[in-house]
């Protein structure tokens, strides 16, 4: 009996030693945890880790799929990385991501692979590229439409039609309302047309070219009186005899634009001021084509 009593006493003593050792281990662990800046009251509470943490295996956050957002702060950016669990979105620099990945701020990307279309304020689908923006991206479709239009302008002539009669009663040259077009700098244009006019024998009618600075106009006109071909340039007017009835003037030539872009306009007026009407009539037209 004494032997069994001694044995029980030794076993009881060993059990107490094991318990004390376990308590010491737990105490050391809790002490280290407290000094590391990690505090977790319970599993579903906020947990702050001030020390560096290293994980040797994968980490799963929000395994239960709760509507619980996660946020990673930077030195100055409080929303350096924001996980919006309720909307299944990720924000970088944003606490309210509007898409699956929402980046607020400047990014540097070496390779960007996009499997579907772009959207947003920085994207333009604008066929004429009129905004001329240096910060926005154009769509492939709008670039193609713009290039096709420009190529068509080179390959095909553009026709300008006069849509109504226009009347003057003096000899001051004025721009025609319809027979005008814009030209680019350092480009050459072929221009031809037919002007329908009505002027009396007293005032006659004169025509002139208005071109950008440095541009030259070199044309030939079929004179209605002599049936000769008359030169007509930007440096002088061409006077057409008034017949007191409808008449026409055919012209053909080139305009060479120097370093200044601008507008080409046919100007006209009475050659001699007279109270009678001098008109350029509806149905007059002019065509132009970019040569280079």
Whether the predicted pLDDT of 281 surpasses 80: yes
Whether the predicted pLDDT of 114 surpasses 60: yes
Rounded distance between C-alpha atoms, residue 92 and residue 107, angstroms? 10
Mean pLDDT of the 38-66 span: 64
Q: What's the pLDDT band for 10 if we cut at 50, 70, 90?
A: very low
Rounded distance between C-alpha atoms, residue 130 and residue 229, angstroms? 42
On the CB side of 43, CA atoms within 13 Å amount to 4
pLDDT (0 to 100) of residue 105: 80
Q: Which of 15-24, 45-54, 256-265 has maximum average pLDDT?
A: 256-265
Rounded distance between C-alpha atoms, residue 219 and residue 195, angstroms? 14
**Domains, the chain, ordered by start:** 64-111 (no CATH), 120-156 (no CATH), 158-290 (2.60.120)
Whether the predicted pLDDT of 94 surpasses 60: yes
Q: Which of 34-43, 132-141, 149-158, 208-217 has maximum average pLDDT?
A: 208-217
CA distances from 253 to 45, 137, 189, 209, 217 (A): 86, 41, 9, 12, 7
Whether the predicted pLDDT of 25 surpasses 60: no
Pairing of strands 137-138, 123-124: parallel
Whether the predicted pLDDT of 168 surpasses 90: yes
Higher pLDDT, 98 or 17: 98
Q: What's the pLDDT band for 23 if we cut at 50, 70, 90?
A: very low
CA distances from 251 to 34, 159, 166, 222, 227 (A): 96, 14, 19, 7, 13
Mean pLDDT of the 216-240 span: 86
């Amino acid at each position: 009996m004494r032997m069994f009593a001694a044995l029980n006493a030794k076993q009881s003593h060993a059990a107490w030693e094991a318990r004390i050792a376990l308590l010491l281990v737990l105490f050391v662990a809790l002490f280290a945890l407290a000094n590391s800046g990690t505090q977790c009251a319970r599993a579903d509470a906020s947990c702050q880790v001030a020390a560096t943490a290293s994980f040797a295996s994968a980490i799963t956050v929000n395994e239960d799929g709760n509507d619980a957002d996660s946020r990673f702060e930077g030195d100055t950016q409080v929303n350096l990385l924001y996980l919006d669990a309720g909307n299944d979105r990720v924000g970088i620099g944003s606490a309210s991501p509007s898409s699956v990945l929402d980046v607020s701020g400047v990014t540097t990307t070496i390779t960007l692979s996009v499997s579907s279309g772009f959207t947003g304020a920085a994207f333009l689908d604008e066929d004429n590229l009129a905004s001329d923006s240096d910060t926005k991206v154009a769509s492939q479709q709008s670039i193609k439409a713009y290039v096709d239009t420009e190529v068509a302008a080179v390959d095909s002539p553009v026709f300008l039609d006069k849509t109504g009669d226009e009347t003057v009663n003096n000899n001051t040259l004025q721009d025609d309302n319809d027979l005008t077009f814009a030209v680019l700098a350092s480009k050459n244009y072929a221009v031809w047309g037919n002007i329908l006019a009505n002027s009396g024998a007293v005032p006659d009618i004169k025509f002139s070219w208005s071109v950008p600075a440095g541009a030259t106009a070199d044309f030939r006109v079929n004179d209605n009186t002599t049936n000769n071909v008359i030169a007509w340039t930007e440096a002088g007017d061409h006077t057409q005899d008034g017949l007191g009835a409808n008449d026409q003037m055919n012209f053909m030539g080139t305009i060479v634009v120097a370093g200044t872009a601008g507008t080409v306009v046919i100007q006209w007026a009475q050659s001699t001021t007279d109270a009678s009407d001098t008109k350029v009539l509806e149905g007059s037209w002019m065509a132009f084509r970019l040569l280079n």
